[in-house]
Amino acid sequence: MRDAPNLPQLEGNVIRLHRLVETAELRLTDGSAAPCSKQVKPLFRHFRRIDSCLQPRVAFRGSDEIFCRVYMPDHSYVTIRSRLSASVSDILTSVSEKLQYSEEQGQREEPLILVAVTSSGDKVLLKPDDGCIFTTLGINSHLFACNRDELCSLVPLPEEVQLPPEDSHIHRIEAEDLANHLSAFHWELFSCVHELEFVDYVFHVERGRRETANLELLLQRCSEVQHWVSTQTLLCEAPARRTQLLKKFIKTAAICKQNQDLLSFFAIVMGLDNGAVSRLRVTWEKLPGKFKNLFSKFENLTDPCRNHKSYREMVSRMRPPVIPFIPLILKDLTFLHEGSKTFIDGLVNVEKMHAIAEKVRTVRKYRSSQMRLDTDVSPTHLQNKAYVRQFQVIDNQNLFFELSYKLEPSAQ
């Protein structure tokens, strides 16, 4: 797809080919399984095929079955079919069956363990009863199955350690097209989140379960856009192009704000506010005064001072449809939940429940109208759509600073 602009006449054929390949691979993966009428969905984070990212986003449920890769210490992998809400023990059972460990499992001194490995090499040992693992992984994190004595030898996948090449597509796409595609995709994701997922996210300990797959994916997408902005800026080596990139991101943030897509707006501003980007003094000095002033206003709107007063005043003046800054809604719900008891003298704290319900109703209000955007109808429409929905990002802050100091060795 990256070469499609050079061969526009083949773009349609390339997309159809990707669809055929995906269909064939999924059938091969599940060839030994019994026929089942239930649809199996690949998570958009783990399967970055063109067909998947171009399809309209549909809501996930805990009972949905998905395909996901689980890696071994030598970076080989098995593709398993699992429920989205599967526990770690369920995942390891599927991996063991794939590896044909089931017969010798009883003879093994140590059973397999499941570990999440980030791109920076950090390891998180997952507990057997942990659930909803797939949607809580970091952006560039992967699942590894190994013996306990192999834990220390786990390293990130080579593609997560190597720097991605500088992205040329970001310099070709117009800021308006970029903003509209971002808002359209984020509206799809936001529309998939059920109101009860916000309650589950806060009350999952008391409820004993957590059905927040769509909310988790939306939160991860916010983080992904934030890291994407920093990644693209720091991978751009030419100073003039880097300044143009800053202008494009600021303009994109302005259009997202105009679209009332505050999730994208916040993510872009926070990406530019990353310490590794904000220290590029020479690059920022070349930015025209108009854009400097505009970005300063954006920083004020995202300022957390006085409990995000500027943001709250702005969003209170907006009419639906609105894509809010989701982390702030969760922060408010968490404050309401942890700030007062759920039961008082054995009775339900009705005031607390009313306050939480009122906060959740704001989500319904934001979605009471359908968001309609004028996305481009140019020959590159599908390519732009696919690009926006499958960002490749760096999520390692240490690596960000390494790149930053290579661009400008000292913050003079």
Cβ proximity of 198 and 329 under 8 Å: yes
Percentage of residues of the chain with pLDDT beyond 90: 57
CA distance 252 to 90: 43
Tokens representing 298?
Answer: 């954006």
CA distance 408 to 281: 8
Cβ proximity of 200 and 211 under 8 Å: yes
- N- to C-terminal Cα separation, the chain: 41
Q: Which residues contact 14 (CB under 8 A, 6 or more apart)?
A: 1, 4, 50
CATH architecture, domain 4-29+37-153:
Roll (3.10)
Judge if pTM exceeds 0.95: no
Residue 402 has pLDDT above 60, yes or no: yes
Residue 45 has pLDDT above 80, yes or no: no
SS3 of residue 250 by DSSP: helix
Q: Give the pLDDT score at 218.
A: 94
CA distance 154 to 157: 9
pLDDT in tens, 359-400: 999 999 999 999 988 766 667 888 888 899 989 899 999 999
Q: How many helices (H) and strands (E) does the chain have?
A: 18, 8
CA distance 139 to 292: 30
Calculate mean pLDDT across residues 94-110. Answer: 64
- Angstrom distances, CA of residue 185 to CA of 39, 189, 217, 411: 22, 6, 12, 37
Domain boundaries, the chain: 4-29+37-153, 169-407
For the chain, what is the mean pLDDT? 84
CA distance 63 to 211: 10
Residues listed for the chain = 412
Tokens representing 242?
Answer: 């880097």
CA distance 363 to 329: 9
Proportion of the chain in helix, strand, coil states, percent, rounded to 5: 55, 10, 35
Class of domain 169-407: mainly alpha
Tokens representing 354?
Answer: 């009313």
Highest mean pLDDT among 158-172, 195-209, 256-270, 338-352: 256-270
pLDDT in tens, 59-85: 887 778 888 889 999 999 898 888 888
- Angstrom distances, CA of residue 376 to CA of 78, 181, 190, 322, 380: 39, 9, 22, 21, 8
Element (H, E) at 234: helix 213-235
| Fold match between domain 4-29+37-153 and domain 169-407 | no
pLDDT in tens, 8-36: 556 556 555 655 554 554 444 444 444 44
Tokens representing 357?
Answer: 């319900």
278 alpha carbon, distance to own chain's centre: 23
**Best CA proximity match to 77, nearest among 127, 145, 22:** 145
